[in-house]
């Protein structure tokens, strides 16, 4: 499980990136954070210092902590546009297994003898299978309830937020997208691609905690006719 200061830091980062505070705004005081999260001064200071080191907050002697006016880079948002925005979407958890494949262990920065949980989910839009997702989740963040109730992980990010207090929508990631051609036979069958000549978008993503620990590694295959990316600055 994440340390308490990491949970506090994750929550504060979410608020900063979600626009709850504007540049130059006065931030929470140490006393406010201690009361809000029921933690010690040391925990609060550690979380705040982490955000200061990232250039998101600045301390002013005798005045308090403020949201930084400086930007270390232009923020952008990626929008995965759908073919049909009004589609009725469903997610099915196909399987959940504990594994220790050396290739995936390397992606998760784990070593031989470690293990992780492999969650396979299929997303449909109006009954059409559009995306097959392999989520490889660190064992420390997996809830064993799902072994008896796979539907528990229909929304992986929502469950992690509820179980661990970590919002993966606001954590650091690296993501690459390529064209898979030919698509592996098992994925092609589940996506109901008509023949081996049809490609798919192949998306790889790592999500990181603030100490650069990889919490999840994801490999997704998405039907070519349902894939489109839009990028906007924020």
For residues 83 and 122, state if they share a domain: yes
In whole angstroms, give the CA distance from residue 156 to residue 120: 11
For residues 82 and 197, state if they share a domain: yes
* Domain-ending residue, one of 73, 108, 129: 73
Is residue 14 a contact partner of residue 8, using CB atoms and an 8 Å limit? no
For residues 151 and 204, state if they share a domain: yes
Q: What is the CATH classification number for the domain harbouring 68?
A: 1.10.10.10
Closest CA to 198 of 182, 221, 177: 182
Q: How buried is 232 (Cβ within 10 angstroms: 0-12 exposed, 13-18 middle, 19+ buried)? A: exposed
Element (H, E) at 52: helix 41-53
Entry pTM = 0.68
Closest CA to 99 of 125, 76, 119, 127: 119
Beta bridge partners of 76: 233
- Split into its structural domains, the chain has a count of 2
DSSP 3-state of 26: strand
Domain that holds residue 63: 4-73
For residues 39 and 91, state if they share a domain: no
* Domain-ending residue, one of 73, 99, 129: 73
For residues 64 and 105, state if they share a domain: no
In angstroms, the Cα distances linking 221 to 130, 134, 156 are 8, 9, 17
pLDDT in tens, 149-181: 999 999 999 999 889 888 888 788 899 999 999
For residues 114 and 181, state if they share a domain: yes
Q: How confident is the model at residue 73 (pLDDT cuts 50, 70, 90)?
A: very low
For residues 67 and 85, state if they share a domain: no
- State the pLDDT at residue 93: 97
The residue whose two tokens read 């949970």 is 7
pLDDT in tens, 22-67: 888 899 988 899 988 888 888 888 888 888 888 888 888 778 898 8
In whole angstroms, give the CA distance from residue 223 to residue 192: 9
DSSP 3-state of 84: coil
For residues 36 and 63, state if they share a domain: yes
* Domain-ending residue, one of 48, 73, 98: 73
Q: What is the CATH classification number for the domain harbouring 185?
A: 3.40.1410.10
For residues 208 and 110, state if they share a domain: yes
Stronger pLDDT, 56 or 81, i.e. the higher one: 56
Listed in order, strand segments (DSSP E) in the chain are 57-60, 64-67, 76-80, 89-99, 116-125, 128-138, 172-180, 200-208, 214-223, 229-233
Q: How confident is the model at residue 80 (pLDDT cuts 50, 70, 90)?
A: low
For residues 172 and 101, state if they share a domain: yes
In whole angstroms, give the CA distance from residue 75 to residue 23: 14
In whole angstroms, give the CA distance from residue 203 to residue 182: 15
Give the tokens for residue 174.
């690296």
- State the pLDDT at residue 107: 97
Residues of the chain with pLDDT > 70, as a percent, come to 89
């Amino acid at each position: 499980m994440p340390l308490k200061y990491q949970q506090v830091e994750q929550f504060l980062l979410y608020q900063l990136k979600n626009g709850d505070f504007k540049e130059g705004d006065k931030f929470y005081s140490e006393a406010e954070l201690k009361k809000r999260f029921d933690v010690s001064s040391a925990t609060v200071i550690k979380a705040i210092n982490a955000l200061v080191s990232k250039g998101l907050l600045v301390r002013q002697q005798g005045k308090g902590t403020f949201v930084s006016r400086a930007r270390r880079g232009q923020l952008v948002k990626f929008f995965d546009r759908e073919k049909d925005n009004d589609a009725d979407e469903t997610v099915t958890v196909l399987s959940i297994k504990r594994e220790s494949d050396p290739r995936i262990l390397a992606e998760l920065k784990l070593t031989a003898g470690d293990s992780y949980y492999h969650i396979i989910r299929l997303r449909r839009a109006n009954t059409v299978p559009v995306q097959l997702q392999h989520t490889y989740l660190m064992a420390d963040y997996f809830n064993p309830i799902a072994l008896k109730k796979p539907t528990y992980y229909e929304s992986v990010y929502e469950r992690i937020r509820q179980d661990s207090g970590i919002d993966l929508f606001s954590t650091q990631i690296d993501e690459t997208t390529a064209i898979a051609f030919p698509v592996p036979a098992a994925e092609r069958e589940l996506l109901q691609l008509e023949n081996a000549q049809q490609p798919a978008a192949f998306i790889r993503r790592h999500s990181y905690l603030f100490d650069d620990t990889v919490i999840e590694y994801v490999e997704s295959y998405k039907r070519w006719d349902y894939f489109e990316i839009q990028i906007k600055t924020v």
